Structure 1
Amino acid sequence: MSLGQQWLDRQPARYKFWTKRRRWIRGCISFCLGLFLWASFSIGSTSAQFNSRQVEVPDGFGVAIHFTDPKPGEMELLEASGIRWIRADLVWLRTEVKKGQYDFAAYDRLLDQLERHNLRAIFILDYGNPLYDSGFSPHTDAGRQAFARWAVAAVKHFQGRGVVWEMYNEPNILPFWSPRPNVQDYIKLAKTVGKAIHRTYPQEVIIGPALAGSVNKPGRKEFLEACFQAGLLEDWSAVSIHPYRITRPETVARDYRQLRLLIAKYAPPGKQIPIIAGEWGYPSSTAWRQGKVIDPTTQAKYLGRQWLNNLANEIPLSIWYDWQNNGPKADDPEHNYGLIGYSDPKQKRPTYEVKPAYRAAQTLNQTLEGFQFNKRLDVGRPDDYVLLFNQGNQVKIAAWTTTQSPHKAIIATSAGSFRTLDYLGQNRKTLNATAQGLSLSLTDAPQYLTPTKANALLQLAAAWETLPLEQIVPGSQTIDVPLQLRNPLPTPHSSEYRFPNRNHSPLDKPDPSSPR
């Protein structure tokens, strides 16, 4: 068995507005830049495209898979979850067994299934091939050219089917880049492949580098900066990272901020390059890193919080790792990242265990379908998350807290009733808001609120123009920040906005995360 085959067979480690009536937002509102990744695409279009339209739920959510031929009932279960994307390895050594001869039949079958079930694909161009460079990751001119020829052949074969191409998988760590990670070798390969694809197929979408681990850990930012300095952002439409951590999902905001600033430093003039959470999950395992345990219930809560928080941080596409558990051992984290349980591959008609995380994904997707993230509302505590979504003048709220103890929060709303739903689609009830607002008990699990009739104050909140997450102001200079309000109400309304006086951002606090 070649080294390349051994690496392939190893499963990757985974992954505030003031009104005359009341105070809306006191100052720690999070804004959405509006530079979401949105694919204006239908299956069978000429190519996938990025533009600045905000992504609608559930168009920015997906899962990682490890199959080309699904088991009976599997695609129906995938579609019913509401996700819109899959991410899968397009493995070099399995599709070029003889030099210069390419066989993509297995991936044709997979794409046929995806199209039938309203799913899009990210295909990862990855790993070595024993036919070249002794099976190691391509590191010679000959190996790089062979990899590029294979990549162009794949793009040619699948063009017009909405595939997004990802340049390798976790090249900054072993075992994925072999014999040892080398950023310059990766840069040479990525440049060769990007130029080769865009020379013939300039509209094809390439992303990278699928960086493993927290951006703020040693060596990670340096790897990215080397890639950006070398000009890889010229060919990439988005930057993909895998921000695994043992801490709660919300701690990722610091990673995203650092990466946004780094991209802005090196992006070609006028080019907007979003960040993609290309792979990230939590295992429902009895044993995990540093003695931590994540039970299935916590996994489900974290999924909803991760995806919602990503939207609030301008992340237009989130891929959960994993679709299915990779093994039967409860004490092995690598076996337990899935939304559904493990099924023996020898079973011809498997019975699927639907885990709470699957229900959490399905509830989020169905409840917020067609809605866009608008802004985060401040309710007085930085660890309380109240996210406002809208679809035109219709509004909904997703809310939770990162504290362990439930507590009350007051959301500024007009008087009226709200239907509520928990993160698993259960415990439906009605809450009534008064002239003082809506009193809501926040827990560590997301809950969803829908006004039973038009709520004027929430509509006004949604009508405020959304601003960037941060503005860069050199030295002692000042900048003008335009702020527009569209009045969605049939009567005139007067409002004023007050910015807080803050000396620092919560994002400046340390972010303890996992070694990855």
Structure 2
Amino acid sequence: MRRTTSASFLIRLLLGITVSGSILAGALPPSAAEEKFPPPVVPQGFGVNIHFTDARPGEMEMLAASGVKWIRMDFVWGATERKRGEYDFSAYERLMNSLEKHGIRALFILDYGNPLYDDGLAPHTDEGRQAFARWAAAAAKHFRGKDILWEMYNEPNIGFWKPKPNVQDYVKLAVEVGKTLRREAPEELYIGPATSQIDLKFLEACFQGGLLEYWDAVSVHPYRQTPPETVLPEYEKLRQLIDKYAPAGKKIPIISGEWGYSAVWKNYDETRQGKYLPRQWLINISAGVPVSIWYDWHDDGPDPKEPEHHFGMVAYPYHAGRDPVYDPKPAYRAAQTLCRVLQDFRFVKTLEAEGNDAVPCWVLLFEKDKKPAIVAWCQEDGKTATIRLRIPEGRYRMTDWLGQDKGVLEVTSQPVAVEVADSPTYLVAE
């Protein structure tokens, strides 16, 4: 999880997810695999990264109350195979039981070395690769039918692949795991490579190595210190690569498996972080990304100057016996607002905003039971704009990004003027 900036420019085209491809014998047919990914309905694709198998009292309840439907968590080889060929998945059984109580799905990362093989480094011998693949298949079979996404490693393009990144060794391991999973648990979903940022060179090497034959989705970590909307040109380049290498007839979506903003980066604070969370999830859903995982659930430490300690939706201190057990940050309240106000609304399309060329603005149309909902915001930090929209006539309840009621907008003629800021405004037809 390394973060850098990227060029900022606007693409207003809705990006599709259809690519060409065929499927391996024994694996799910394309349509069945696609159905296991959530549709573009709020909040079915939204989630957070966690770092526990056993939640503290009150923690899982607070996490679920944010509205998220996914967690992403390390599924650690070295912790679950302590004797060769003997697997202990009990900690993850406890986690799955807790998640299922709250209707939350898991994205588990098959990751890291094991001191029993290859000196604890990333698997790079035939013995190490085969052992990793046997372990991965055992895990998938143990939890089969739980709608888990099994992800091949975490950020292998940077220092998480020990002793140093090696794409060819990664491809060999990922292919070995793919073959074994398709033979032992063909109905389970297998994704990768969870790159730090959208590393097109590393990704293309994976595709050239044949991994799209095995993967049901391509996962990336689009970290940046620019607004969330700047990800769209990179998604488009990645889609072109997927289209170039995918097997015929196979649909392979992009998953945003880890992405967040530190509240103590330069020119950042908890408010800016909070505004970016819903914008990130909304821009992903508009781009056909079925799963969006925010990094992180709670802050990882108390150091006020350490960026890695301040990616959370909630603060670091845990308050036993209190409700809530963590102090919610603006990001938590923003997530809760988006998931509540647009619950069960399906994304339809991106709308054009008229009358404001100075500030890039975004307008998304959602629908539930033929009732429209509009989300609008401007891209530049600290800016506001008055835009004109052509939306169905009627009464719209307006809510700001933190859940404050902003009154009713009467739409009796076209276009209608709406003032937007750098945080989402929700307009839901009454």
The aligned runs of 1:287-436 (5 Å cut-off) are 288=265, 292-343=266-317, 349=321, 351-380=325-354, 381=357, 383-403=360-380, 404-436=382-414
- Distance verdict in 2 for CA 1:14–1:358, change over 3 Å: farther
CA separation of 1:53 and 1:72: change in aligned 2, threshold 3 A: closer
Contact 1:14 1:337 survives alignment (8 Å): no
Confirm whether residue 224 of structure 1 aligns to residue 203 of structure 2. Answer: yes
Equivalent position of 2:221 in the other structure: 242
Deviation digits for residues 27-81 of structure 1, max 9, x if unmatched?
x853353769xxxxxxxxxxx9423883211001000000000000011111111
What per-residue deviation string (whole Å, max 9, x for no partner) do you get for residues 126-167 of structure 1?
001111111110011111011111111111111121111000
C-alpha distance 53-115 of structure 1, shift in aligned 2 (>3 A): closer
User: CA–CA distance in 1 between the matches of 2:320 and 2:352?
Assistant: 52
Per-residue deviation, 1:274: 0.3
Is 1:441 the equivalent of 2:424?
no
User: Cα distance 1:366–1:34, how it changes in 2: closer, same or farther (>3 A)?
Assistant: farther
**2:184 aligned with 1:200:** yes
**Are the equivalent residues in 1 in contact too, given 2:42–2:343 (CA < 8 A)?**
yes
| Residue 487 of structure 1: aligned partner | none
Q: Which residue of 1 aligns with 2:13?
A: 30
1:233 aligns with 2:212: yes
C-alpha distance in 2 between matches for 1:164 and 1:435: 47
Distance in 1, Cα, partners of 2:320 & 2:405 = 36
Please give the alpha-carbon distance, in whole angstroms, between the structure 2 residues aligned to 1:283 and 1:305. 15
How many Å separate the matches in 1 of 2:196 and 2:99?
27
1:428 partner SS: strand
Q: Deviations over 1:427-474 (max 9, x none)?
A: 33112234232211110000100123xxxxxxxxxxxxxxxxxxxxxx
Query: C-alpha displacement at 1:13, in angstroms?
Result: 5.1
Does the aligned pair in 1 maintain the 2:39–2:45 contact within 8 Å? Answer: no
What code does the residue aligned with 1:123 have?
F
Q: Is the 8 A contact 2:17 2:239 kept in 1?
A: no
Which residue number corresponds to residue 8 of structure 1? none
**Aligned partners of 2:150 and 2:223: how far apart in 1?**
22
1:94 and 1:349 map into 2 onto residues whose CA distance is: 30
Matches for 1:460-499 after TM superposition, within 5 Å = none
CA 34–208 in structure 1, closer or farther in 2 if over 3 Å, else same: closer
Alpha-carbon distance change, 110 to 53 in structure 1, aligned in 2, over 3 angstroms: closer
Q: Does 1:256 align with 2:235?
A: yes
Give the one of 127, 130, 134 matched to 1:149: 134
Q: Does 1:162 align with 2:142?
A: no
Structure 2 contact 17–252 (Cα < 8 Å) conserved: no
**Cα shift at 1:230:** 1.1
Deviation at 1:257, TM superposition (A): 0.3
Which whole-Å deviations, capped at 9, do the CAs of 1:489-514 have from their partners, x for residues lacking one?
A: xxxxxxxxxxxxxxxxxxxxxxxxxx
Please tell me the residue identity of whatever aligns with 1:266. Y
Matching residue's letter, 1:202: P
Structure 2 CA distance for partners of 1:127 and 1:349, relative to 1, 3 Å: farther
Identify which range, 181-190 or 385-394, moves more after superposition.
385-394
Q: Name the amino acid aligned to 2:290.
A: P
**SS in structure 2 of the partner of residue 338 of structure 1:** coil
Q: Distance in 1 between matches of 2:214 and 2:163?
A: 26
Which amino acid in structure 2 is aligned with residue 193 of structure 1?
V
Question: What percent of counterpart residues are identical?
Answer: 53
Q: Is residue 414–residue 435 contact of structure 1 (8 Å, CA) maintained in 2?
A: no
- Provide structure 2 residue ranges, at least 5 long, that are not aligned to the other structure: 5-10, 20-31
Kindly report the root-mean-square deviation, in angstroms, between the aligned alpha carbons of the 2 structures.
1.9
Structure 1, unaligned runs of 5 or more: 1-11, 16-27, 37-47, 453-516
Distance in 2 separating the partners of 1:323 and 1:151? 26
Partner SS state of residue 161, structure 2: coil
Q: In terms of Rg, which structure is larger? A: 1
In structure 1, the partner of 2:25 is none
**Normalized against structure 2, the TM-score is what?**
0.90
Q: Kindly tell me: are residues 127 and 414 of structure 1, through their superposed partners in 2, closer, same or farther at Cα, counting changes over 3 Å?
A: closer
Q: Distance in 2 between matches of 1:407 and 1:164?
A: 40
The corresponding residue for 1:185 is 169
- 2: distance between equivalents of 1:14 and 1:124? 20
Alignment coverage as a number of residue pairs: 405
SS in 1 for 2:216: strand
